[in-house]
Structure 1
Amino acid sequence: MAISFDNALGIHQYTVGVRERNAEVISTNIAQANTPGYKAKGLDFNKSLQAASSGASIGLSRTDGRHISASTTVNGETKYRIPTQPDTGDGNTVDLDLERNLFMQNQIRHQASLDFLGSKFKNLTKAIKGE
């Protein structure tokens, strides 16, 4: 009997990738905190998770029959955040305290997802060994 990882791991296998993408978006905001005119961006976690779990992909067109077919997985789109602080005059909308808190919260949830997946794999290993 074959093991279905989709059934065994559920949605949690996709949360790790979406959390990593979210960390990239937040860290970019933090890095651009002093850049005039930079607009803070955010990732819609639920939409990104739905896209990742549905296996939505964008097919790349081939102009020649000898080209290798390829597709890329959609990781969700980033959107501009609504500013939470008044404009300081340079047009930058990054709230550094908010970004740090979001980054910390995302990292805690990312680690929880990794721990959860680790326990799932440990249980699968026990099941395979018959323990």
Structure 2
Amino acid sequence: MTSIRDHLALHATALQLRETRNGVLMSNLANAATPGFQARDFDFQTTLAARVGAGGALAISDARHIATGGATPGQLGYRVPVTPALDGNTVEAGVEQMEFAENTLRYQTSLMFLNRRISGLMRAMRGE
């Protein structure tokens, strides 16, 4: 038997991760003029999959096995700039604004899916 938590977990986790990513992207934009600042981000899909238990890295059962995958899910990495600034700042405002806009749109979409899921559960509880 599945619980209500099971029905809401994916979208609730996605909302949390989108909010965290928006904070990282806003920090990048806020530091666009800070000399030496390195733009940060994380791989949303890998982190979401790890949080909800869908996939992830292969298990290593022997010391001779080679680990797969890149960074730990949710770990902040550094964005590789197309044209870094002379002062060492790697924030590219256009890239950050585009990523922020896309992430915000996806946040709103996840919120819509979560609201629909909750509405469906409420209708089911009322017997509609």
TM-score tier (shorter): 0.7 to 0.9
Q: In angstroms, what is the RMSD of aligned CA positions? A: 1.9
Cα distance, 1:6 vs. partner?
A: 4.1
Aligned partner of 1:120: which letter?
R
* Matching residue of 1:40: 39
Aligned partner of 1:76: which letter?
G
Pick the aligned partner of 1:93 from 90, 93, 105: 90
Shift in alpha-carbon separation, 1:3–1:125, aligned structure 2, 3 A: farther
The two structures have a TM-score, normalised by structure 1, of: 0.76
Return the alpha-carbon distance in structure 2 between the equivalents of residues 23 and 41 of structure 1: 11
Matched, 1:117 2:117: no
Aligned partner of 1:94: which letter?
V
Q: CA contact under 8 A between 2:9 and 2:52: conserved in structure 1? A: no
Q: CA contact under 8 A between 2:15 and 2:111: conserved in structure 1? A: yes
* Matching residue of 1:28: 27
Identity among equivalent positions (%) equals: 35
Structure with the higher strand share, 1 or 2: 1
* Matching residue of 1:76: 74
Return the alpha-carbon distance in structure 1 between the equivalents of residues 118 and 28 of structure 2: 34
Return the alpha-carbon distance in structure 1 between the equivalents of residues 78 and 50 of structure 2: 19
SS of residue matched to 2:26? helix
The two structures have a TM-score, normalised by structure 2, of: 0.78
Which runs of at least 4 in structure 1 moved beyond 3 Å after TM superposition?
none
Return the alpha-carbon distance in structure 1 between the equivalents of residues 6 and 76 of structure 2: 29
Shift in alpha-carbon separation, 1:39–1:6, aligned structure 2, 3 A: same
Cα distance, 1:84 vs. partner?
A: 1.6
Cα distance, 1:115 vs. partner?
A: 0.6
Q: CA contact under 8 A between 1:21 and 1:75: conserved in structure 2? A: no
* Matching residue of 2:68: none
* Matching residue of 2:69: none
